[in-house]
Amino acid sequence: MKTNMSQEELKKFLLHAPQARIIEYIENIHPVDILDILKEDEENGLDILSRLPEHYIASIIDEAEPEEKYNLLTSFSENRQRNIIEEMASDELTDLLGMLDETQANKILAKMTEEDARKVRQLLSYDPDTAAGIMATEFVCVKAYMTVKQTLRYLQDNKEEIDHAYDLYVVDDFDKLKGVVTLKELVTTHFDTTIGEILQPNVETIPFDMDQEEVGHLFEKYGYLTLPVVDRVGRLLGIVTVDDVMQILRDENTEDIHKLGGVGEGEKVNGTLKESVKSRLPWLFVNLLTAIFASAVVGLFEGTIEKVVSLATFMPIVAGMGGNAGTQTLTVIVRGLALGELDLKHFKKALLKELGIGLITGVSIGAVIAVLGYLWEGNIIFGAVIGIAMILNMIVATLSGLVVPIVLKKMKIDPALASSVFVTTFTDVLGFFFFLGLATAFIHYLV
């Protein structure tokens, strides 16, 4: 049977093939492919799921979106739910329980063994945005006195419980991490050698309270597959795996993009009208207040605009170009802060760079708009006024795009959430002020 089936072929196979054949070939199919079918064909979803083995259903639930997990699990009988829960990873169960209300969570916990429920409750006690909040408690740990032969026998006897065996963690009787042994080292060493003789004592660990975003950057920078999580005295609590980190980085990137656009992080394309309005309307009101502020600045120069009506034509250009330049800088800086690439040590260099960018882009755009202003109005002073205003606003835009997110971060405010409002305010208000203020100063040459 071919494994690279189309979605339609796969659906027909799952619905009509003998169950024994499905169980034989299902390991060649990734759970996300089944999820795609379930989303496309809800009518046959239960029939498809009923023909799958329980460990594979657990994998499907692990891959599902948070709001889908509970519905998938509760679509089965009580007895089958118990078996599926037993197959699920502790970190995935913790994520599931963390989004449920107390009644729903207790129903799930009641279906778990006492030991598994205790582990999950312990995981739920940690901050969900920290290393401990995303770690799994399924890992392989051995003792230093064990031989290679004993360790291999231990792995064989417990193969059903081992999901991530890239490294074996060596602990003492108090569960303190003493070192790590790679699988390569294990299988290429003589059977009678003890683990203590081949362990690597210098192990990269993650503090249990490290922010999940910092954990993600560690994996991204060094290419780790797994990292152990330890408490303050060095006891091994669990492990973080690369698949969890990829999800975190994706979620963080999505959240930042939404925030930069003034959209709630939970909004989705297929969400409801109510959710979208609730997500967007508050930020539109905030932007309305800043727009009123900018309009008030324009109101100060009504007399100037009445005398030189062409100013009204070019005002949006100055403010709009400043906003675009500010957004460019803001995007780079917020991303740099999120990745840890920008700190106070690099601030001076970044400041000089953005000042240079603002000056060069300002002069370039300012020269073009000055010529257009001159041709439009037939007045060289008019062209000079709009050109100088453009240069000043482009410098303000790049500098505010740099400074605003850094200041907000120092104030413990998420730069991705609030920066764009402030940067836009600066470029609109100062853009109008520079342009209309210069026009007022040189009004005798413009009328």
* pLDDT, position 417: 65
* Token duo for residue 254: 């999505």
* pLDDT, position 193: 93
Give the domain ranges of the chain.
7-126, 141-243, 273-446
Question: What is the CATH architecture assignment of 7-126?
Answer: Alpha Horseshoe (1.25)
* Neighbour tally for 326: CB within 10 Å: 30
**φ, ψ for residue 211, nearest 5 deg:** -60, 140
Of 247, 204, 251, 257, which is closest to residue 229 (Cα–Cα)?
204
The whole model's pTM is what? 0.60
* pLDDT, position 271: 60
How confident is the prediction along the chain (447 residues), in pLDDT tens digits per residue? 445 678 888 888 888 888 888 888 888 888 888 888 888 877 888 888 888 888 888 888 888 877 788 888 888 888 898 888 888 887 788 888 888 888 888 888 888 888 888 888 888 888 888 999 888 888 888 999 999 999 999 888 877 666 666 788 999 989 999 999 988 888 899 999 999 999 999 889 999 999 888 888 888 888 888 899 999 999 999 899 888 788 777 766 666 665 555 555 555 555 667 766 776 677 678 778 888 888 888 988 989 998 998 899 899 999 989 988 988 898 888 878 776 677 667 788 888 898 999 999 999 999 999 999 999 989 999 999 999 999 999 999 999 999 988 888 888 777 766 688 888 888 999 999 999 999 999 998 887
CB 404 within 8 A of CB 423: yes
Rounded to 5°, the CA angle 176-177-179 comes to: 150
| Nearest-angstrom CA–CA distance, 187 and 265 | 46
141-243: CATH topology is: CBS-domain (3.10.580)
| Nearest-angstrom CA–CA distance, 311 and 17 | 74
* pLDDT, position 3: 56
* pLDDT, position 1: 46
| Nearest-angstrom CA–CA distance, 351 and 332 | 13
Question: What is the CATH architecture assignment of 273-446?
Answer: Orthogonal Bundle (1.10)
Residue with tokens 């081992």: 162
* pLDDT, position 258: 58
Residue type at position 315: M
